[in-house]
Amino acid sequence: MSALKNDTFLRALQRQPTEYTPMWLMRQAGRYLPEYNATRARAGDFLTLCKTPDLATEVTLQPLARYPLDAAILFSDILTVPDAMGLGLYFSQGEGPRFERPLRDEWEIRDLSAPDPTDKLGYVMDAVKSIRRALDGSVPLIGFSGSPYTLACYMVEGGGSDDYRHIKTMLYSRPDLLHRILEVNTRAVIDYLNAQIEAGAQAVMIFDSWGGSLTPHAYREFSLDYMERIVAGLIKEREGRRVPSIIFTKGGGNWLEAMAGIGADAVGLDWTLDIGEARRRVGDKVALQGNLDPCALHGTPESIRTEAARVIDSYGNHPGHVFNLGHGISQFTNPDNVNVLVEAVHSHSRAIRAA
């Protein structure tokens, strides 16, 4: 395996000094890129892209060919895990992800088990290995999974939801059943992330997209405690380096101190809080990743530079910042604006270190 040429991302996650603020973008490989849409059309559909390692490798590298980003992220989806549990994932046009067999019956929940990641999810590990070969040490590769609670939301609702009625009904009326699902998901995520690390992922991120819809008490009991167990179960070192972990709860800003206390190396932030204030709240406990409003990319080059500088200046000249958006990049983003952003983040952060 070739030596890593750009390790700024991994160093920033460990709160070590870097010459500039490293950055990547959530959903950096996606529909805002015409080359992604072309590959997806060739594949036929999104799931085929995920399940074909050569195509997953091709799309993972597309944003890196355009922009000097500091990390690559495995091209896949969080819902491959419940798919491997037998729920039957499909994507209906314009409706997002759906499951053929949502989890509602007690006997199905009792029967649920964690998939062997090298068997049913072998295509993901093949993609990780293939992407590592293709990257050839240029930047590190991030592996990821959904959080147990976010996966459970999709598994119980059968798809996306506005009100989470089914899972919250279970949470309040049969918490034992929800805990049973979360136990299985936790085992599945630990095994899945460790398999990605063994296949070559150099950092891992847990996406808790729906934990922010919970009450503070329920967040601790049904989401954060399980993420804490995952972090404790992860492989910590590989290829002679730490494999840092990042947790991201969208809408979790109120619980920042709690999120910073579960042992993860970094916490991802959405755009609803000031990153400088977040840093003061967590001190030196964790690195922070974020947190530009994805819609800022719909502005002008001038406003994009201003907003990027606002985030960097607010964080301050202090180690431990990975620049990112506060959520996934929108499919309506103009790819030229991403160029403006990457250039602005790198040059502005170099300038404030020199000042």
Q: How many CB atoms lie within 10 A of CB 131?
A: 25
Q: Could you tell me where the DSSP H helices lie in the chain?
A: 8-13, 34-43, 46-51, 53-66, 80-82, 106-111, 122-135, 148-157, 165-173, 175-199, 216-218, 225-233, 256-259, 275-282, 301-315, 335-354
Q: How far apart are CA 172 and CA 168, in angstroms?
A: 6
Find out whether 31 is annotated in a ligand binding site.
yes
Closest of 22, 40, 34 to residue 63, by C-alpha: 34
Residue 70 — φ and ψ, nearest 5°? -100, 0
CB 77 within 8 A of CB 50: yes
Region from 26-34, 220-228, 289-297, 333-341 binding ligand CP3, contact rule CB under 6 A = 26-34
Smallest distance from ligand CP3 to CB 27, Å: 4
Judged by beta carbon, residue 134 or residue 309, the one nearer ligand CP3 is: 134
When asked if residue 39 is in the footprint of ligand CP3 (CB under 6 A), the reply is no
Is there a catalytic annotation at residue 31? yes
When asked if residue 90 is in the footprint of ligand CP3 (CB under 6 A), the reply is no
* Site mask for ligand CP3 (CB under 6 A), range 110-129, x = bound: --------------------
Residue 193 — φ and ψ, nearest 5°? -70, -40
* Among the listed residues 86, 123, 138, 160, the single contact to ligand CP3 using CB under 6 A: 160
* Among the listed residues 78, 81, 193, 260, the single contact to ligand CP3 using CB under 6 A: 78
Residues binding ligand CP3: number (CB under 6 A): 21
**Residue, CB closest to ligand CP3:** 209
Judged by beta carbon, residue 91 or residue 122, the one nearer ligand CP3 is: 91
Q: How far apart are CA 288 and CA 259, in angstroms?
A: 11
Tokens of residue 281, six digits: 């709240």
Judged by beta carbon, residue 97 or residue 140, the one nearer ligand CP3 is: 97
* Among the listed residues 144, 226, 255, 271, the single contact to ligand CP3 using CB under 6 A: 144
Smallest distance from ligand CP3 to CB 267, Å: 15
* Among the listed residues 32, 67, 75, 315, the single contact to ligand CP3 using CB under 6 A: 75
Q: How far apart are CA 159 and CA 247, in angstroms?
A: 22
Judged by beta carbon, residue 46 or residue 90, the one nearer ligand CP3 is: 46
Is there a catalytic annotation at residue 154? yes
Find out whether 309 is annotated in a ligand binding site.
no
Helix (H) or strand (E) holding 92: strand 89-92
Is there a catalytic annotation at residue 40? yes
Q: How far apart are CA 4 and CA 34, in angstroms?
A: 29
Residue 258 makes CB contacts below 8 A (sequence gap 6+) with 220, 224
* Among the listed residues 82, 97, 117, 244, the single contact to ligand CP3 using CB under 6 A: 97
Cis peptide before 6 (omega within 30 of 0): no
Q: How far apart are CA 92 and CA 247, in angstroms?
A: 29
Smallest distance from ligand CP3 to CB 31, Å: 5
Cβ neighbourhood burial of 309 (10 Å; 0-12, 13-18, 19+): middle
Is there a catalytic annotation at residue 280? no
When asked if residue 30 is in the footprint of ligand CP3 (CB under 6 A), the reply is yes
Helix, strand or coil, per DSSP, at residue 174: coil
Q: How many CB atoms lie within 10 A of CB 349?
A: 25
Judged by beta carbon, residue 328 or residue 335, the one nearer ligand CP3 is: 328
Smallest distance from ligand CP3 to CB 289, Å: 12
Which of 154, 192, 226, 315 is catalytic? The answer is 154
When asked if residue 31 is in the footprint of ligand CP3 (CB under 6 A), the reply is yes
Binding residues for substrate: 27-31, 77, 154, 209, 327
- Active site (catalytic) residues: 27, 31, 40, 77, 154
Binding residues: 27-31, 77, 154, 209, 327
Residue ranges in contact with ligand CP3 by CB under 6 A: 26-31, 40, 46, 73, 75, 77-79, 96-97, 144, 160, 207, 209, 250, 328
